[in-house]
Amino acid sequence: MKKNVIDNGIRETLEEREFNTLSEFATKSRLSKGRKRAIEECPFRTCFQRDRDRILHCKSFRRLKHKTQVFLSPYDDHFRTRLTHTLEVSQIARTMARALMLNEDLTEAIALGHDLGHTPFGHCGENVLNKLLPDGFKHNVQSVRVVEVIEDLNLCQETVDGILTHSWGYKPLTPEAQVVQLADKIAYINHDIQDSVSAGVIAEEDLPKDCIRYFTSVSSKRLDKMISDIIFNSQNKPEISMSAECWDYTSKLREWMFKNVYTDCPAKQEEKKASLLIEELFNYYKNLLKNELDEKTLNTVVTDYISGMTDRFAIDRYTEIFIPKGLQHNAGDKYLYKMVNALK
């Protein structure tokens, strides 16, 4: 067996294994549509494994740890950030992909890259940029720009498509991307409920009563039911979906969260300040560079810079630019030595 692996090549063996074990609907690495720029194949990893690794090692991925998920700049380590949300989406998506015999490597790559273009302060920051830019702003489109231009990761077309289409309203080209699209929704619905309960914004018993009866009020059981429903409803099918009944209750939960947490709760009041901060920074940098670039290029550069910021970096820049500082007396330790010399 070992001799055959070496003779055939490790990557080739992995690619052959996909044909022998995965679903007929799964996306096979060997049949990938390829990258914008051809590169030499890795002897040990498939193209989708390589995409996953490129995303995992990029700067934009690391910055997700200091970007808001729902609650702004959480100092409590137990609240989700954009990074932990991404990891939970990846875990859920991989579970479903594995159960459905889809390409788990492609699924993971899409999940890890889906929010790379998200702004500081979550959807609050996204809404501000969407208002300020003539052509609007969408974090999924910016995520594609991150991997194709800003980080220049040269990913496979299937991975890029999955990153673009993870947002609702887009039609993914692969079942793996469909899995991530659903995993993203059920991940944030469930962990945002959990964080909101922990923050004292809501209580589990506040959730719609029919949803509690259908899912129970236990977070882990609710998530498990959603995942299980997708798996059982999608086996041996080219389309990945929830059953109509489960989707109705999931949608009702999502709508309830938008009404009671995402747009109207005490913990979200700070978003007004965050919105002003993003707008002020945007206008400041546009004015700073207005004589350097044409209007379209200027909008692009400033958008790339601000959307790539972490919450705390945006706050630091705002403080540095707009908050007045008292006169700094750079005496350092001179007075200490003056005292020493006086006693000699």
Average pLDDT over residues 318-332: 81
Model confidence pLDDT, tens digit, residues 120-143 = 999 999 999 999 999 999 999 999
CATH number, domain with residue 106: 1.10.3210.10
In a domain, 79, yes or no: yes
| Backbone phi, psi, residue 79, to 5° | -85, 150
Q: Which residues contact 133 (CB under 8 A, 6 or more apart)?
A: 299, 303
Average pLDDT over residues 142-168: 98
Residue pair 227/262 in contact by the 8 Å Cβ criterion: no
Helix 122-132 to helix 295-307 angle (10° resolution) is: 170
Distance, C-alpha 140 to centroid of its chain: 9
Helix 157-164 to helix 47-56 angle (10° resolution) is: 50
Residue pair 112/50 in contact by the 8 Å Cβ criterion: no
Which of 219-228, 229-238, 270-279, 330-339 is predicted with the least confidence, judged by mean pLDDT? 330-339
Q: Who has greater pLDDT, 326 or 273?
A: 273
Cα separation, 220 vs 191, whole angstroms: 10
In a domain, 200, yes or no: yes
In a domain, 81, yes or no: yes
Cα separation, 138 vs 135, whole angstroms: 10
In a domain, 321, yes or no: no
In a domain, 19, yes or no: yes
Cα separation, 161 vs 290, whole angstroms: 34
In a domain, 317, yes or no: no
Kindly tell me the burial class for residue 116, based on how many C-beta atoms sit within 10 Å of its own C-beta (0-12, 13-18, 19 or more): buried
Residue pair 306/314 in contact by the 8 Å Cβ criterion: yes
> What is the biggest distance separating any 2 CA atoms in the chain, rounded to whole angstroms?
89
Radius of gyration of the chain from its Cα atoms, rounded to whole angstroms: 24
Average pLDDT over residues 106-121: 97
Q: What is the pLDDT of residue 310?
A: 96
Cα separation, 288 vs 294, whole angstroms: 13
Model confidence pLDDT, tens digit, residues 165-200 = 999 999 999 999 999 999 999 999 999 999 999 888
Average pLDDT over residues 217-238: 96
Which amino acid is residue 148, in one-letter code? E
What letter does residue 217 receive in the DSSP assignment? S
Average pLDDT over residues 191-210: 93
Cα separation, 68 vs 47, whole angstroms: 31
Question: 26 pLDDT band (50/70/90 cuts)?
Answer: very high
Q: Who has greater pLDDT, 72 or 154?
A: 154
Q: Is the pLDDT of residue 321 over 60?
A: yes
Both structure tokens of 295? 């209007």
Both structure tokens of 219? 């977070």
| Mean pLDDT across the chain | 92
Question: 325 pLDDT band (50/70/90 cuts)?
Answer: confident
Q: What is the pLDDT of residue 333?
A: 72
Average pLDDT over residues 129-158: 98
Average pLDDT over residues 226-230: 98
Both structure tokens of 128? 């501000």
Question: 1 pLDDT band (50/70/90 cuts)?
Answer: very low
Domain count, the chain: 1
pTM: 0.92
What letter does residue 69 receive in the DSSP assignment? S
3-class SS of residue 81: strand
Q: Is the pLDDT of residue 5 over 50?
A: no
Q: Which domain holds residue 72?
A: 2-29+46-116+151-268
Q: Is the pLDDT of residue 58 over 80?
A: yes
Element (H, E) at 127: helix 122-132
